[in-house]
Each structure stands twice: as C-alpha cells, then as structure tokens.
Amino acid sequence: MTDFTPTERTQVHRLPKRGVYDREVVYRILDEGLVCHVGFIADGKPVVIPTGYGRKGETLYIHGSNASRMFRTLGKGAEICVTVTLIDGMVLARSAFHHSMNYRSVVIFGKATVLESLDSKREALGVFVEHVMKGRWDDVRQPTESELKATTVLAIPLEEISAKVRTGPPIDDEEDYALNVWAGVLPFEPTPGAPIADDRLPKEIAVPQYMRTYTRKQR
C-alpha cells in the first residue's frame, strides 16, 4: 500500500513532523470517524456542513436530499474540502500556553462525482450504513426506488489527502517542569451506552449481537 503524495494543499507546514501520508493510517482514521465536515463555496460565500459518510476503497461517500444546497452545489463540480477529526485525549500542561489535545485528523481536497444509477446509489448507502454499524445493512429494509431517486449520493476520490496526528504528553518550557502543577494526558474516547429500545419495538426482538459488541475501534 503506497503512501499519498503530498501536494501544495495537503503538505503539513505547521509542525510538519505531525503530518502523515501513510495510506493505512489515513484509512484507519476515516474508518473510525463518524462525522465529516464538508467545506465549499456557495453563492460566493464559504460554507461548512457536518454530515455522515462511508468509505469503500479509495472513495468516500456522502449522501443527502436532492433539494440540499450542498449536494446541488457539489454535484456541479465545485471544489470540496472534507475533514474528519478524532480526539484521543486532553493534554494538560503546566502552563496555559502549552495545553493541547491528542488528535488524529484527515483533510481531503477534490471534486465530487454524482452517482447516477440506482444500483450504485444502493451500494453506496450500504457502505454508509455499514460504516455506522457493521452488520446492520442485512437486517434492515433496503431503500425503495423512490427513496433512491430522492437521494443524491456523491463519490469523493481519496487522492489529494493527508493526516495530522498528535500523541504523547505535554511539552512544557524547561523551567515550568519545576512547577507544583499536575500535568499529563486525560484519555478521551467515545463509549457506547446501553441500547434503548424503541417504544413500539416488540419485546421479543432481542438486541443484535453487533450492537452488544459495538465499538469505533478498528475491527
């Protein structure tokens, strides 16, 4: 698996040692995340919209209503910037200035392609559902033709892309290490709670095994 080649837009200049172009690392971040932020220009003004996504191979998929301004704009070939960020810990330094976070983030640039056929839309929506909850797609009712026609699905190539990662303890000024202040890292990761059944769910329907063992950590 080859690394991504940095471009003028993806090369990390601020703290370059945190820049990551390893394809496997980038994909792990995308596969663990749930929400991306989509940036684009609409009517001459910058817009950033959070939305769900799914990845298959070297393509990221997002979907929404045909009436959505974002999907109408991006479907016409507008430049797009997509970001995904995972927070792994709060970095507490001895000084206020050096407080930080341990994080993993990905930035993607490019243009999206509209999926036209119903079969390609259905496959992409399956990717989306499986990204959110692996094993779920085979349990639920599949999208109808009218639902697929009412949905725009965009495919974003994972070509111009890079990651940025911070790990480890706080980095204080040398003279501050003598301060009587606790310093270190508070780990931070999402932990699923107990499933809450729909009020109209028959009691004999059990919680699926894939939900009992759900985690965002890489499978």
Which CATH number belongs to the domain containing residue 152 in this structure? 2.30.110.10
In a domain, 57, yes or no: yes
Residue 27 has pLDDT above 80, yes or no: yes
Residue 217 has pLDDT above 60, yes or no: yes
The confidence band for 218, taking pLDDT boundaries of 50, 70 and 90, is low
In a domain, 84, yes or no: yes
If one counts the domains in the chain, the total is 1
In a domain, 11, yes or no: no
Conformational region of residue 58, where left means phi above 0, alpha means psi within -120 to 50, and beta covers everything else: alpha
Domain that holds residue 153: 16-172+189-212
The confidence band for 219, taking pLDDT boundaries of 50, 70 and 90, is very low
In a domain, 122, yes or no: yes
The confidence band for 175, taking pLDDT boundaries of 50, 70 and 90, is very high
Residue 18 has pLDDT above 70, yes or no: yes
| Averaged pLDDT for residues 162-186 | 97
What is the model's pLDDT at position 15? 85
In a domain, 91, yes or no: yes
In a domain, 56, yes or no: yes
The confidence band for 14, taking pLDDT boundaries of 50, 70 and 90, is confident
In a domain, 219, yes or no: no
What is the model's pLDDT at position 2? 84
In a domain, 182, yes or no: no
| Averaged pLDDT for residues 19-28 | 96
| Averaged pLDDT for residues 25-44 | 96
